[in-house]
Amino acid sequence: MTRFRPWPRSLAGQMALLIALALLVAQVINFGLVLRDRVEFRLSQATRPVAIRIADALDREAHAGRPLTADRGRVRRLAQNPIPPGAYERHPEVAEELRRQLADQGVTVGVIDTGLRPSSDQDAEAEHDDRRRAGIHRRDPDGATLLIAVQQPGRGWLTVTAPWPQPGWRLLIALLTQTAILYIIVLLPVLWIVRRLSRPLRDLRVAAESFRPGEPGTPMRADGPDDVAALITAFNALRLRVTGMLDEKDRMLGAIGHDLRTPLAALRVRIESVEDDTDRAKMIDTVAEMNRTLDDILSLARLGRPSEPLTDVDLAALVDAVVEDFRDIGSDVSFVETERLRMHLRPSLIRRAVRNLIENAIKYGVSAEVRVEADPRCVAIVVADQGPGIPEDRMGDVFDAFTRLESSRNRETGGIGLGLALARAIVREAGGEIRLINRAAGGLDAIIELPR
């Protein structure tokens, strides 16, 4: 099952996500500040004009002799609180702010009551008429009016109305539009810049993945910021050092091979003068085994830089030819015929890997059955034997160089422990893998999987 990864793994994706989150957090904070300012503005808009009106009305009543009545004027005097209990929505914060505003005006009052009434009330219509007579034709588009009742101890209640803007969608739409514009103006250029900055890193990753010591390649151009350019320069120098070390290793291995084969050849010539046939045959076998061991060691060491070019071959025919070689020397090896299968690989190396698996099957499992199975994605070469299999806890150990499950150190029964190590190195160099599977009915399947 594919694991969900909410966090992007590319540099451009991470930068874009971080910037988007930062912008979102900034807009959320901005939205909170705007809402707070809107609440304070609405509170100030509802209380400050009311406090001024009440102070002016009381001043006119006291000095100009213009009494406040219940049927006219913005500020009216009533005998009782006109706001019915439980009928309207109360706003105690307005009462507190109005008390403070009236105290600043030098007006002392008792209880202050508030109630939010709908526009259908008769009082609201009367307020609208007062506004019209006063020459104020604008009406609150949201249609909400705040009724305020202020008690004057011993003199009744003063009532006045004030507009009460209702929270609507306009503020949210404006903030969303602002956020979208901010994302377009900030995020898109940042994404473009980040992609340009991350392109050299992406090219460096591709160059590192495609680096093959045996293949010629051109150095990467040091583009991007200073630290990325320095990293590319260091990679180019590292590639040169690795190639130089491998060249030196190849020269050293060639010298070792030459220095060892020369005395082995001289020893082989001297063995011919031994009179005892049995001793001579044993000595010849020993020298031949030393030559085979030397070939395996040199092949394993040089595998990182194969000299054989890639070639289009018929894989089924190649495996059949290897099986035929074993048949010619009397080994019990069979091949399951299959259709022609065209593959692009190094034939000599693949032939050697298949030969090593068949040799192990014959040595430990008496006989071998070889077949080639293909599907749209990969090709499998299966070498099945009839032996005892391999303990599950030792499956990984048999691929280590010079590792033998057979502990007698007898080369007739155990070899030197390089066959599977060399086979796996060859298959992995071709982009494939080797698997070992114990069959339930007995025996072992050694499977070479190659990508198509």
Structural domain boundaries of the chain? 12-169, 226-302, 311-451
Instruction: For residue 200, count other CB atoms closer than 10 A to its CB.
Output: 19
Percent of the chain with pLDDT over 90: 8
- The predicted model scores a pTM of 0.47
Does domain 311-451 match CATH 3.30.565.10?
A: yes
80-89, 295-304, 364-373: which range is least confident on average? Answer: 295-304
Average pLDDT for 372-396: 86
Residues 418-449: tens digit of each pLDDT: 778 888 888 888 888 999 989 888 888 999 99
Split at pLDDT 50, 70, 90, the class of 9 is low
Concatenating the DSSP letter of every residue in 122-154 gives HHHHHHHHHHHHTT-----TT-EEEEEEEEETT
Residues 329-382: tens digit of each pLDDT: 888 899 988 888 899 888 888 888 898 899 888 888 888 999 999 888 889 999
Going 396 to 398 to 403 to 406, the CA torsion angle's sign is: positive
**Residue 318 and residue 342 in contact, taking contact as beta carbons nearer than 8 Å:** no
Q: Above 70 in pLDDT, residue 151?
A: yes
Instruction: For residue 384, count other CB atoms closer than 10 A to its CB.
Output: 21
What value does the CA radius of gyration of the chain take, rounded to a whole number of Å?
47
How confident is the prediction for the chain on average, in pLDDT? 78
First vs last Cα of the chain: how many Å apart?
Answer: 24
205, burial (CB in 10 Å: exposed 0-12, middle 13-18, buried 19+): exposed
Q: What is the pLDDT of residue 204?
A: 86
Residues 184-224: tens digit of each pLDDT: 888 788 778 777 777 888 888 888 888 876 666 778 888 87
